[in-house]
Structure 1
């Protein structure tokens, strides 16, 4: 009989091996979603208890048993090789779904996801507006993304010159299309910001000279905007999504700055007087 210390080491080795197996299964490229994969990624032993699930960039092409996660509210399957969405039809509580950067052409199974509010299918092979008709019955759907300029994701349907107009007519209750608000608060954000910016600039100059305001102080303390972290899973997920949005904003800002710089440089070259050799 083995000593107690040897038995403990032996069992510990088995536990470590099991944990390593789960880690490999969850991190390595996997073609099919299995119960073992879902449990290793979430820590849940009951698939029906999973509320949030992120399976981004794992090489998945078969959704397997994902349909058993009937309590799912948020699902990220971006950056995989998915073509068939049939297993998602049973996810009646799903509110947020990210399917960007896959190989999807048929959205029909999503017509059963009656709670769906946010859908991202940018970077797929959806070819026509008719392919979106199946989503019209989703009364809660308010945010659709078919293209994402930040990551250069699009769909063949977006090349149609009337694409935006037709989609907005098809979904009259939609609030956000391709990341841009079309109704409600925020739809005029660009013009509002421009007007505010122009007003500030106008008040900062007098007789062509910049007016300095040495006594100006920030409206709030430096720590006012710091996000307070929480152990709550829902708040943590919202924090991650907020960080993703901030990252996209920074990428867009850098890209816009680069384009503006190139345009200004091009215009300055055109304005230079031509010199002729005598």
Structure 2
């Protein structure tokens, strides 16, 4: 019963409190918290989150957050997920100088001018303003020059919106893209879709299943890996749907027209 009551309280907590943080992490001292996931709890007020001075990874995605002032004291943050909130002002992140990975997809950022405050974060390597997997975006992404401007503002960025833009990873990305294009080209012959036998999976069933761990760092890595697997499954489902629609459409085109006599 106590566990159920705690879950019910977490379901819509509105404000971050010391009691909430202790119940979620098991840590009595807030400064001992290194990893924190508060996704989808209806949070509006960040409350005492600023007291978690040693936080390194923080997930506040899918909430109702608009004011980031409480995050200004979190100087050790390296990974920050603020996707799917109501954020338009990023000024409070200026002092979070150790952020390397920042997810802002699905917010209300309207202009690249709002991003200048992030230029002081020299370690920033991965930044996201849109996420096609979850249909998250920002108004700024509608600007035709958005990508070019962002890359000029952040010359050290290695990954933008999930796509590698510099380094060896970008070469791998381009190679994969070329392979995909080649495969797509091979699916058609004289403009017609060619039938192919079903492909076998690369690995056996349950290959990607992960074991639980009592180590907090390993457990956090498992959670992040699970999130990636979830995104992959969503992409696979969408790809299957698109392929099915395309095949159905082409099948209809091949059928001879029938005329009433």
Same structural fold, with TM-score higher than 0.5 when normalized by the shorter chain = yes
Q: How does 1:97-246 map to 2 (within 5 A)?
A: 97-193=80-176, 227=210, 229-246=212-229
Report how many aligned residue pairs link the two structures.
Answer: 247
Is 1:39 matched with 2:22?
yes
Q: TM-score scaled to structure 2, two decimals? A: 0.83
CA distance in 2, matches of 1:131, 1:64: 24
> Would you say the 8 A contact 1:129–1:167 is kept in 2?
yes
In 2: Cα distance, 1:117 partner to 1:68 partner: 21
- Label 1:70 to 1:157 Cα distance change in 2 as closer, same or farther (>3 A): same
> CA 1:263–1:98 in structure 2 vs 1: closer, same or farther (change >3 Å)?
same
Of 45, 51, 60, which aligns to 2:43? 60
Taking the aligned partners of 2:49 and 2:245, their CA distance within structure 1 comes to 47
Q: Can you give the 5+ residue segments of structure 2 that lack an aligned partner in the other structure?
A: 187-195, 197-201
Rounded to whole Å, the distance in 2 between the matches of 1:91 and 1:56 is 18
Q: Shift in Å at residue 185 of structure 1?
A: 3.0
Query: Which residue of structure 2 aligns with residue 23 of structure 1?
Result: 6
Which residue does the alignment assign to 1:215? none
TM-score, normalization: structure 1? 0.78
Whole-Å Cα distance in 2 between the matches of residues 174 and 260 of structure 1?
34
Asked whether the equivalents of residues 26 and 41 of structure 1 are also in contact (C-alpha less than 8 Å), the reply is no
Separation (CA, whole Å) in 1 of partners of 2:244 and 2:159 = 30
Given candidates 238, 242, 250, the residue that maps to 1:255 is 238
Q: CA-to-partner distance for each residue in 1:76-105, whole Å, 9 max, x for gaps?
A: 111111110000000000111111111110
Q: CA 1:225–1:40 in structure 2 vs 1: closer, same or farther (change >3 Å)?
A: closer
SS of 2:120's equivalent in the other structure is coil
Asked if the contact 1:22/1:40 (under 8 Å) is kept, the reply is no
**Where do 4+ consecutive residues of structure 1 move more than 4 Å?**
19-22, 194-199, 220-229, 271-278
Q: Provide closer, same or farther for how the CA distance between residues 31 and 222 of structure 1 changes in structure 2, counting only shifts above 3 A.
A: closer
Q: CA deviation at 1:271?
A: 5.0
Q: What 5-or-longer segments of structure 1 have no aligned partner?
A: 1-15, 203-209, 211-217
Within 5 A, what are the aligned runs for 1:266-277? 266-270=249-253, 272=255, 274-276=257-259
User: Residues 221-277 of structure 1: CA distance to partner in whole angstroms, max 9, x if unpaired?
Assistant: 999876554322111111110111011011112102211322333344345554555
- Where 1:75 maps in the other structure, the secondary structure is strand
Cα separation, 2, equivalents of 1:257 and 1:224: 21
Root-mean-square deviation over aligned CA pairs: 3.0
The structure that has the greater radius of gyration is 1
* Post-superposition offset of 1:189: 3.6
